Copies of this chain bind each other. A is one copy, B any other.
């Protein structure tokens, strides 16, 4: 599996991805799932990939080929990021169909985000079917891959006014929770932070497996969570706790 998250803020965009791929537990590899494209001063894109590796590699190769060959539709000339999402949905469907066979699934999902001069920064999630969604004021993030473990912290912390630093930290905590609960998501962890209206490649960092910062973050979060848990109001064994249940629909103690 994979876990990628993109966060869309007034201040800009944050992209975070893991790097683990697996085809069975004895075939685990490291592949980057984050790709950047752009023309400084004019447009910047970051692409995150999840799903069948042959499909996602095929899509990325096609994107590059279309740029190189100056095809009528390519990321360097496209007018809107939503058009870029349509374009990626289309080539993703073609790749998936090409790979179909033997009843297996070769699905892939993508997040494409960035900014084209004259428009606001945007992010889109492209489904295997080729259609796409974007973020909203209430839900300022998009996830692909193993998204459930890391969702609660995003829901609690993020809003569109969060700083890039807060969103990056929140995304890394979300990644930490996911890695802890699911072996198929793992480091290196890549982060790109794009500042709104900069139109240059964002700040980028790859946290390696032995990253001192990731280890410290994991330790600190674990410790803080345990401390936070200890401060919760205790469950009281008060008079409203029964040895016997008071309605028939569930019969504890019958």
Instruction: Give the B-binding residues of A (Cβ under 8 A).
Output: 31-38, 46, 148-149, 151-153, 155-157, 165, 168-170, 172-173, 177, 180-181, 190, 192, 200-206, 213, 216-217, 220-222, 224-229, 231-237, 240-245, 247, 249-254
Contacts and interface: CB of A to CB of B under 8 A. Distances in A.
A229 B36 contact: no
Nearest to A243: B201
Given A231-B224, A233-B220, A250 B203 contact: no
A155 B177 CA distance: 10
A253 B217 contact: no
- Specify how many copies of this chain sit in the oligomer: 2
B242 A203 contact: yes
In the A-B complex, list the 9 residue pairs whose CB atoms are closest, starting with the nearest.
Answer: A36-B252, A32-B250, A201-B253, A224-B228, A148-B148, A152-B177, A228-B228, A32-B249, A205-B241
A185 to B, nearest CB: 12
Q: Do most interface residues of chain A lie in helix, strand or loop, or is the interface mixed? A: mixed
Given A32-B250, A35-B251, A205-B241, 18 more contacts: A32-B247, A35-B252, A36-B252, A36-B254, A38-B254, A149-B152, A155-B180, A173-B229, A173-B232, A201-B252, A203-B243, A205-B242, A206-B245, A213-B236, A217-B233, A224-B228, A224-B231, A227-B228
Residue among A153, A169, A213, A228 with most chain B CB within 10 A: A228
A172 to B, nearest CB: 7
6 contacts: A38-B254, A169-B232, A201-B243, A201-B252, A205-B242, A221-B232
Contacts of A236: 213
A152 B181 contact: yes
A249 B31 CA distance: 8
Given A169-B235, A245-B204, A46 B149 contact: no
